[in-house]
Amino acid sequence: MTDSGSSRPSKRRMMIGAALALGIAVVIAVAWAFRPGGGGSSARSPRELFTPEERAPEGVRIRVEVLNATSTPRLALSATRLLRDRGFDVVSIGNSPARRDSTLVIDRTNHPEWARLVASVLGRAAVEARADTSRYVDISVLIGTNWTPPPKTLYP
């Protein structure tokens, strides 16, 4: 056997080894980039990638009612999931008899900062103050046709 015949298997082994090393490096780089806290940020759910990270204040119970003011089914449920994910206490969900083009957040207990916070979580929403102490809620939300639900999170 000549030297050139014996060098072929070693070149092939070197090529396979280099390809394996490159593959391992790519896997490590991807795992590093997507680790919790990767890239200098904390781990975020897919929903948080599309909406600002606004949350209910710690230790504060903000009672919210969500009413679907459109003919699109289940919008109030989508808004409820989003608000609950962000720490709000949605105590009532249903349909509004009146239809709306735009989403409206109503402050019922003279907490305008809470109403603005809910509006911020929902995205495009107007805020109004209509005090009503006979209701068991701090905030009423009327979901309008302009509201787009965030991408769905898989719930196990």
Give the span between the Cα atoms of 126 and 146, in whole angstroms. 11
The pLDDT tens digits for 58-107 are 999 999 999 999 999 999 999 999 999 999 999 999 999 999 999 999 99
Structural domain spans, the chain: 3-40, 46-143
Residues in the chain: 156
Contact by Cβ (8 Å): 67, 98: no
**Does pTM surpass 0.85?**
no
pLDDT band of 29, cuts 50, 70, 90 = confident
Query: 65 Cβ partners below 8 Å, 6+ apart?
Result: 90, 91, 92, 93, 94, 135, 137, 139, 140, 141
Spatial distance between the Cα atoms of 103 and 105, rounded to a whole number of angstroms: 7
CATH architecture type of domain 46-143: 2-Layer Sandwich (3.30)
Q: Which one of 9-23, 37-51, 116-130 scores highest in mean pLDDT?
A: 116-130
